């Protein structure tokens, strides 16, 4: 039985970790170190483990443990949990400790996720290195163009600029750390000449993929230099603080095929006038949403979205940039971004996503490779309140909709970094002329 269990049975779930490290300076100036390596497995296990040490100055050492916790005892008598201590003397202090530098071990995270239980919610290699190595990565660039506004005849140059939204994102954390991350974002949009944000995310619960957990608490702030070319005649400096909690089970963010996202957040905004103006604006935004993906067949998905948001003006009157915007990219794309506004908004949308051609290998200037061409048939409705109050929300004259189709493309930059492109064409439903908001007649 032991033969079949050892050689033909499933591989043990085992997690190695660096435990206590104690360093003592000796009388001759050298250093004596006690390095503990902890093995936590779901069954008795014997396998050799190598530990790599680097002392200050670059001198390195390789230590080997044969994996026996009880020397001379048979396999089934070996304990599943064991703490092995290496003792080594060096000329200098230790600078780096790594378990399994050649990556020959197969590990599974068994770090605690609760008081009395364990679970796979960490990267099993995170506790194999001390100190942990930091990382700072470019995570993506985004570009959105409202073509109906950008290419409209007679559009002034500044309005064309307002139809473009661009961003570049970066992320920093400790390597293989699934507990928290730090994100930086630089952006420009129809309201902002230039802006930047910094957020910190804390992750909890089970893993949804190898790099993220399902539950995220995000907090951060942003600074925006506002322009004067929109519906608001005054610019200024806008400060924004946010707290958001998200439960996300989608394994792939760019084009997921299953899972859901539940989110709720609170955002505080302060618009500070410059050049001696004193009509500062303050507001609070409370929002929530639910996105669900319903797999129909391979590469055929029905996506649903429900969202609601409410703006609460604080000791000031609202302006257009502080209201919920119902049209444009991110809303009902059949409407322009300057058509639909309200203090409160609720959105319901459906989208049928499908792949037209898959598994392509078409190079574009040998820099990007086209992998997939797909499509999306979408539609949605939303209801908005008035701009000055919450009256009319869900009323008979507050509903708008759109329907359209989009072509999508998935590419890889240099064969590695995924990129997603989408072009939508949509038709508005319920468009009305002569609508007024904050004393102005909307286009």
Residues whose CB is less than 8 angstroms from the CB of residue 47 and which lie 6 or more positions away in sequence, other chains included: 67, 105
Q: Are 314 and 282 in contact (CB under 8 A)?
A: yes
Residues whose CB is less than 8 angstroms from the CB of residue 389 and which lie 6 or more positions away in sequence, other chains included: 343
Residue 129 domain-assigned (yes or no):
no
How would you classify residue 142: left for phi > 0, otherwise alpha for psi between -120 and 50, otherwise beta? beta
* Residues 333 and 437 grouped into a single domain: yes
pLDDT, residue 414, reads 72
Token pair 């072009």 is found at 423
Alpha-carbon distance 137 to 153, whole Å? 41
* Residues 6 and 74 grouped into a single domain: yes
- Overall domain count for the chain: 2
Q: How far is CA 53 from the centre of its chain?
A: 34
Phi, psi of 161 (to 5 degrees): -65, -40
Question: Domain end: 122, 144, 164, which one?
Answer: 122
Angstrom CA distances, 233 to 11, 229, 319, 321, 342, stand at 67, 7, 10, 11, 19
pLDDT, residue 146, reads 86
* Residues 80 and 158 grouped into a single domain: no
Q: Are 284 and 266 in contact (CB under 8 A)?
A: yes
Here the CATH number for the domain that contains residue 30 is 2.60.40
Residue 336 domain-assigned (yes or no):
yes
Strands 399-413 and 192-207 come out as: unpaired
Residue 409 domain-assigned (yes or no):
yes
* Residues 102 and 145 grouped into a single domain: no
* Residues 246 and 289 grouped into a single domain: yes
* Residues 170 and 205 grouped into a single domain: yes
Residue 148 domain-assigned (yes or no):
yes
Burial of 6 (0-12, 13-18, 19+ CB in 10 A): middle
Range of the domain at 116: 2-122
* Residues 170 and 108 grouped into a single domain: no
Alpha-carbon distance 84 to 63, whole Å? 12
* Residues 227 and 327 grouped into a single domain: yes
* Residues 118 and 182 grouped into a single domain: no
* Residues 78 and 17 grouped into a single domain: yes
Residue 127 domain-assigned (yes or no):
no
Residues whose CB is less than 8 angstroms from the CB of residue 376 and which lie 6 or more positions away in sequence, other chains included: 351, 352, 353, 354, 405, 406, 408, 422, 424
Token representation of residue 325: 């915007």
Alpha-carbon distance 438 to 340, whole Å? 12
Here the CATH number for the domain that contains residue 255 is 2.40.160
Q: How far is CA 244 from the centre of its chain?
A: 12
Kindly provide the b/e burial profile for residues 402-430, where b requires at least 16 CB atoms within 10 angstroms of the residue's own CB. bbbebebbbbeeeeeeeeeeeebebebbb
Residue 388 domain-assigned (yes or no):
yes
Residue 317 domain-assigned (yes or no):
yes
> What is the reported pTM?
0.86
Q: How far is CA 71 from the centre of its chain?
A: 47
Token pair 């797999």 is found at 295
pLDDT, residue 281, reads 95
Residue 128 domain-assigned (yes or no):
no
CB atoms within 10 A of CB 121: 20
* Residues 56 and 201 grouped into a single domain: no
Task: Please list the pLDDT of the chain residue by residue as tens digits (443 residues).
Answer: 667 766 777 888 899 999 999 999 999 999 999 999 999 998 888 999 999 999 999 999 999 999 999 888 888 888 999 999 999 999 999 999 999 999 999 998 886 654 444 556 788 888 899 999 999 998 888 889 888 788 877 777 777 888 889 999 999 999 999 999 999 999 999 899 999 999 999 999 888 888 889 999 999 999 999 998 888 888 999 999 999 999 999 987 777 889 999 999 999 999 999 887 888 999 999 999 999 999 999 999 999 999 999 999 999 999 999 999 999 888 999 998 888 999 999 999 999 999 999 988 888 887 888 999 999 999 999 999 999 999 999 998 899 999 999 999 998 877 667 888 999 999 999 998 888 898 888 77
pLDDT, residue 243, reads 98
Token pair 């006038």 is found at 273
* Residues 197 and 307 grouped into a single domain: yes
Residue 427: beta bridge partners? Answer: 403
Question: Domain end: 122, 148, 182, which one?
Answer: 122
Question: Domain end: 122, 145, 175, which one?
Answer: 122
pLDDT, residue 413, reads 79
């Amino acid at each position: 039985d032991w033969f079949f269990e050892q050689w033909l049975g499933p591989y043990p779930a085992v997690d190695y970790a660096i435990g206590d490290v104690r360093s003592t300076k000796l009388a001759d100036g050298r250093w004596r170190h006690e390095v503990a390596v902890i093995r936590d497995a779901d069954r008795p296990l014997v396998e050799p483990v190598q530990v790599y040490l680097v002392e200050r100055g670059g001198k390195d050492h390789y230590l080997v443990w044969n994996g026996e916790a009880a020397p001379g005892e048979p396999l089934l008598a070996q304990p599943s949990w064991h703490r092995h201590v290496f003792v080594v003397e060096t000329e200098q202090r230790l600078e780096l400790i790594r378990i399994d530098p050649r990556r020959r071990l197969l590990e599974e995270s068994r770090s605690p996720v609760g008081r009395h239980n364990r679970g796979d919610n960490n990267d099993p290699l995170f506790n194999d290195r001390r100190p942990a190595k930091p990382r700072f990565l470019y995570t993506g660039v985004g570009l959105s163009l409202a073509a109906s506004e950008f290419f409209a005849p007679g559009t002034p140059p500044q309005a064309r600029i307002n139809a473009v939204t661009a961003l570049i994102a970066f992320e920093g954390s400790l390597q293989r750390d699934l507990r928290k991350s730090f994100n930086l974002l630089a952006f420009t949009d129809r309201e902002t000449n230039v802006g930047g944000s910094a957020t910190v995310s804390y992750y909890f619960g089970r893993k949804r993929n190898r790099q993220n957990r399902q539950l995220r608490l995000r907090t951060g702030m942003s600074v925006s230099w506002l322009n004067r070319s929109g519906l608001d005649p005054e610019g200024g400096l806008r400060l924004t603080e946010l707290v958001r909690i998200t439960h996300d089970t989608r394994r792939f963010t760019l084009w997921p095929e299953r899972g859901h996202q539940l989110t709720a957040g609170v955002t505080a905004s302060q618009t500070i006038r410059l050049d001696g103006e004193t009509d500062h604006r303050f507001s609070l935004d409370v929002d929530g949403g639910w996105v669900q993906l319903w797999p129909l067949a391979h590469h055929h998905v029905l996506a649903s979205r429900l969202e609601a948001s409410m703006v609460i003006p604080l000791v000031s009157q609202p302006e257009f940039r502080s209201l919920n915007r119902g049209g444009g990219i991110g809303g009902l794309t059949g409407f322009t971004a300057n058509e639909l506004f309200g203090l409160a908004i609720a959105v319901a949308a459906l989208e049928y996503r499908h792949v037209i051609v898959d598994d392509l290998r078409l190079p574009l200037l040998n820099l990007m490779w086209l992998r997939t061409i797909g499509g999306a048939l979408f539609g949605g409705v939303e209801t908005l309140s008035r701009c000055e109050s919450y009256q009319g929300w869900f009323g008979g004259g507050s509903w708008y909709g759109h329907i359209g189709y989009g072509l999508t493309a998935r590419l890889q930059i240099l064969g590695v970094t995924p990129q997603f492109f989408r072009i939508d064409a949509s038709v508005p439903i319920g468009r009305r002329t002569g609508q007024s908001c904050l004393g102005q007649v909307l286009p």
